[in-house]
Amino acid sequence: MGIALKNLAQRIIQSFPFCFHDELVFYKPEAFDNSLFMNKLGAEYKTTVFNDGFVASVPNPLSKIPLKVTFRFQPDPITGKVSFTLSLFELNLSLLLFFALGLFFRFYQNPLFSNLAIVFGILFYLISIHTSVTGIKRSIIQISGTTYDLGELELWKKQQEWMKNELLCPACGEPKNPYSYHCVSCGIYFATPSKHNEKVQVNTTGTENIHYHYSKKNEKNSR
């Protein structure tokens, strides 16, 4: 959890003090309905969806402080991306209260309690955002019907390259079977099987493939 909090802190610094942005990208299961997904997500947070987005009040799992969250859904034929923005106004007030408490103890010559109040306030702030983001992503994954999160940047970059190559599975990078509508590795469904234009005779004997070369017969030398 230490690494997660460190990465979270870096992102918070970039957007502090007003809001925190994050997103979740997932592969859409077969027969995925974009409108139905957004309506279910809106119902999860007891609000109405407008133009592929909505604003909801999401209670923080740690402090139960309701946070204003703006959701937006951006689908394509293969993936769905839910971006969301947390308003940090309420958490900022909590952080200021802890800092004020720290200054109060500092004024009365109690540096130990002062430092503890400030450190506890910062940890409370970071963990509150972390638990809120984790809870939102868990809800998105559950409602979407998938268990795969493409939010990791490095994996997402690799998948962008795989999607450019028609001979590779866009989900895992495994070479496609030209006679199958599904990936032999991860099982993802393809709209159409890949087309391999190979001029190689298929050999089923277990030995290496045999390449045939044809040449015009020399009538004089054949006698």
Q: For residue 78, is it within any domain?
A: yes
186 and 140 share one domain: no
Q: For residue 111, is it within any domain?
A: no
Instruction: Determine the residue type at 107.
Output: F
- Walking along the chain (223 residues) 10 residues at a time, the average pLDDT comes out as 58 66 85 91 90 89 86 86 91 91 88 91 90 92 78 64 84 83 81 54 50 49 45
Amino acid 133: pLDDT? 92
Question: Nearest to residue 12, comparing CAs of 117, 115, 103, 91?
Answer: 91
185: containing domain: 152-198
Q: For residue 212, is it within any domain?
A: no
Amino acid 41: pLDDT? 93
Which two tokens mark 61? 């799992």
Terminal-residue alpha carbon distance, the chain: 83
54 and 156 share one domain: no
62 and 133 share one domain: yes
Amino acid 54: pLDDT? 93
Q: How many domains does the chain have?
A: 2
C-alpha–C-alpha distance, residues 118 and 74, integer Å = 39
Give the relative orientation of helices 111-144 and 34-44 as an angle to the nearest 10 degrees: 140
Q: Which residues contact residue 108 at a Cβ distance below 8 angstroms, ignoring those fewer than 6 apart?
A: none
82 and 180 share one domain: no
Amino acid 190: pLDDT? 79
Amino acid 222: pLDDT? 44
pTM listed for this prediction: 0.61
